[in-house]
Amino acid sequence: MIDPDTLAWDKMGGLIPVIVQDRSDGAVRMVGYVNRDALAATIDSGFVTFFSRSKQRLWTKGEISGNRLRLVAARADCDGDALLLTVDAEGPTCHLGTPSCFGDIEANPHFLDALADRVRDRASADPSDSYTARLLSQGVKRIAQKVGEEGVETALAATAGDRDELISEAADLIYHLTVLLQAKDIGWDSVAAELEQRK
């Protein structure tokens, strides 16, 4: 985690601007300010706490609404006079009820998150019209079998040296793995969090 003593607190009278970015889609949720106490409270509690310039006190985002910002990572810019906080948002961030204080900005979700959203949307479709819905209706064992088959086909394509075939089989593998995660109610964010711990 970030060392407060490395930050340029004197540049803005003891305050540092903070950009809050959602881990899941990269969208900017809001901008606020921290002083040393707010940053310490954020690190200690694991939830983003700001210094309110209007109220002249610390306030934890969501302390009334419950729409908190769970801290994932904190980074300083090259000059140490701005912070980027990566968060998992618990509900909408803006007091107007939108995810972002910047209105309905178009997020840029990671392709795995976008794929998971598409699989989730198709889960309720008619199985006769949707391969995804049909596969989900067949249960975890069948989906796991497909993941195994696609894994073998991906490995074979790699050893055969056929680039286009490898790309195609890797796409099939990722798709079927996404369906399996959906069937087990696991998101790619959980997989990403596990990988983060392995650094």
pTM strictly above 0.75: no
- Residues ≥6 apart with Cβ < 8 Å to 161: none
Q: Which helix (H) or strand (E) holds 183?
A: helix 163-183
* CATH tag, 4-89: 3.10.20.810
Residues 1 and 43: beta-carbon distance below 8 Å: yes
What are the tens digits of pLDDT across the range 153-193? 999 999 998 899 999 999 999 999 999 999 999 988 888 77
User: Which of 145 and 117 is assigned the larger pLDDT?
Assistant: 145
> Of 17-21, 74-78, 101-105, 116-120, where does mean pLDDT reach its minimum?
101-105
105 pLDDT more than 90 = no
The angle, 0 to 180 degrees and rounded to 10, between the axes of the packed helices 188-197 and 163-183 is: 110
b/e burial code for range 119-143 (CB count within 10 A of at least 16 → b): beebbeeeeeebebbebbeeeeeeb
Structural domain boundaries in the chain: 4-89, 111-197
Considering the chain, what is the average pLDDT of its residues? 91
- How much is the pLDDT for 29? 93
Length of the chain: 199
The fold of the 111-197 domain, in CATH, is: Helix Hairpins (1.10.287)
Residue 14 has pLDDT above 70, yes or no: yes
Q: Where are the alpha helices (DSSP H) in 35-129?
A: 36-45, 111-122
Please give the Cα distance from 142 to 148 (Å, whole number): 10
Mean pLDDT value across residues 56-77: 94
Average pLDDT over residues 6-34: 92
Residues 6+ apart with CB under 8 A from 195: none
pLDDT at 106 over 80: no
